[in-house]
Amino acid sequence: MTPEIRFDNRVAIVTGAGGGLGRTYAIELAARGAAVVVNDLGGSFDGQGSSTSMADQVVAEIVAAGGKAVASYDSVATSTGGEAIVRTALDAYGRVDVLVSNAGTLRNAAIDELPDATLDAMIDVHLKGGFNVTRPALRQMKKQAYGRIVLASSAAGVFGNQEQAAYGAAKAGLIGLMNVLSLEGAAFGVKANALLPTAMSRMSAGMNEKALQEFGALYGALGDKLGNTPEPSFVMPLAVYLCSEACDSTHGIYSASLGRYARVFTSVGAGWVGPRTAAASVEEVAAHWAQVCEKQGAAEVGSLMGEFELIAAQLQAR
């Protein structure tokens, strides 16, 4: 029987925890013993305005259920805000064991019609937001020689989604942050992973209408097989497990979508090994294009050096 996953004596920060996915993470972490910093700016799904009510409501729910929680209303979009969020945890509970960088907003636009303001907003809250909370949290985790960091990326960035170039690019950038974070944190007991969650939440109001129609057409024929899986609660189990001491994974990308949980891999094909003394010509690359694109024999790569090691092994085998 699998032991119960607990967070007793652990302190967790969940950004964007005033509603949707973040709320489910915060409530479950608290129910399992964590003291939680519930961070939320309290604005609309597209990042407009602010309010203390969203974070306060989740804190009240946690406390009413016998858990521990404090609110943070700071914005992840600035380094000052990120520092303040982590300081809230340290002032209230003295440590930071878990960080779920989940805060986000959504604004859609075709690439050639994308305003600078939308591009800046998506990069600030998603990509810079990840950095802004991760840096101060990592400093504390290194002192403790323990930490778990989950960065909320998106399938829109890893796989693509129309009219979400700014959102997708910012979310995909978090994969790069996670890749390096997992390497730099390894010696200090800090594990980092990226999550690709999909759920119907208030941000769904900003989704492309055509995409929502296609989703409905694709899954409408499944009837009861879809069940309630679009709800945020179906993403929560994977997110919370990645936060736990029981989870040994690091440097991973994980998808939680419609009740299906899966690892997403970054791999490199065997490719074509060109000449050694002079660079291949453009025509030679064209002649070997099918080999360059061949998927069979692909290998997972865990770092830049890992790809060099893979190439070295190929050369040794020649």
Residues with a catalytic annotation lie at 167
Q: Amino acid identity of 309?
A: E
The full length of the chain comes to 318
Distances (CA, A) of 67 to 7, 80, 210, 295: 12, 28, 42, 49
* Closest residue by Cα to residue 80 from 136, 118, 19, 157: 136
Token code pair at residue 30: 């608290």
Cα–Cα distances in angstroms (integers) from residue 190 to residues 6, 11, 99, 133, 221, in the given order:
18, 14, 11, 15, 44
